[in-house]
A = this chain, B = another copy of it.
């Protein structure tokens, strides 16, 4: 088996749910994510030698660390037992609804696969990354992991079987993400959700999910805009996010196609049909928080079509 030395991989942050696709739809963005630097050593076994960018909050024990669990799962699957040190460089915040644990899990599987000279395809890595993500939040849904790994906009037909499909991302589509400096834990954010929805809500939401898929496929920005609505999850989670509706209304007023909560929040994303609009929308969203004396960060990105990569 050929072993590659000095591997560095990157797995991007992701926006999950995308308004109408709760637990099923996600997209990858640029500029934020997890980097892992791998060193092959003579001492057998997988270790996390160093973690930076986490303010000392992430565990280094393999079986407790999202990247570690995912990386170990690939090694176990392949029956490989060599010495590997991982240095994890978190280049994104966690607890913000941008798929931090998914990026860790994906970077973990990518790191091992690149060291071992790609014995598996990206799609074959997916279940192992899912094990890492599941270790982080207990749930098994691929709406962050799949786009972080594969890139683009990913629709998960069924999470249990990882029946995932890449949608066409129209040229020009931009994402503006505003991240307020407040923390919402995914488990709290799940806790507020009712176990039931009305049949009427189900019909409206699934019509919008269908409309979004058709709109993306046909580069029909009008249809994308009409479809980017969440009548089920957003009304329940909005209260956890300061000034959510004001930020959203501002984004729409400034020309965003749609605006909703990224994943479990508190990050808020807006999809826009070009970079000019995205910049204007993002600045206006951030201004809402500035006026409330809430610190926030703004990220403007195209859809990341590459996903996780060696770098």
Interface residues of A (CB under 8 A from B): 21-25, 155-159, 163, 165, 167, 193-211, 213-214, 217, 223, 226-227, 232
Asked if B202 and A155 sit within 8 Å, CB to CB, the answer is no
CA gap between A232 and B200 in the complex, in Å: 12
CA gap between A203 and B200 in the complex, in Å: 14
Could you list some 17 contacts between A and B, CB below 8 A? Answer: A21-B210, A24-B206, A24-B207, A156-B207, A157-B210, A158-B204, A158-B226, A165-B211, A195-B198, A196-B199, A202-B202, A202-B205, A202-B232, A205-B206, A206-B209, A210-B213, A217-B217
Determine which of B22, B23, B207 lies in contact with A157 in the assembled complex, contact meaning CB atoms within 8 Å: B207
Determine which of B165, B193, B203, B217 lies in contact with A23 in the assembled complex, contact meaning CB atoms within 8 Å: B203
Nearest CB of B to A51, in Å: 33
**Besides A21-B210, A157-B223, A213-B214, 14 other A-B contacts (C-beta < 8 A):** A22-B199, A23-B203, A24-B206, A24-B207, A155-B210, A157-B227, A165-B223, A196-B197, A196-B199, A197-B198, A197-B202, A206-B209, A210-B210, A213-B213
Nearest CB of B to A177, in Å: 23
List of B residues within 8 angstroms of A199 by Cβ: 22, 193-197, 232
Given A196-B197, A209-B209, A210-B210; A157-B232 close (CB under 8 Å): no
Nearest CB of B to A28, in Å: 18
List of B residues within 8 angstroms of A163 by Cβ: 211, 223, 226
CA gap between A41 and B197 in the complex, in Å: 54
Nearest CB of B to A158, in Å: 6
List of B residues within 8 angstroms of A210 by Cβ: 21, 24-25, 155, 157, 209-210, 213
CA gap between A206 and B208 in the complex, in Å: 10
Nearest CB of B to A145, in Å: 16
Q: Which A-B residue pairs are the 5 nearest by beta carbons?
A: A157-B211, A206-B206, A202-B202, A157-B207, A196-B196
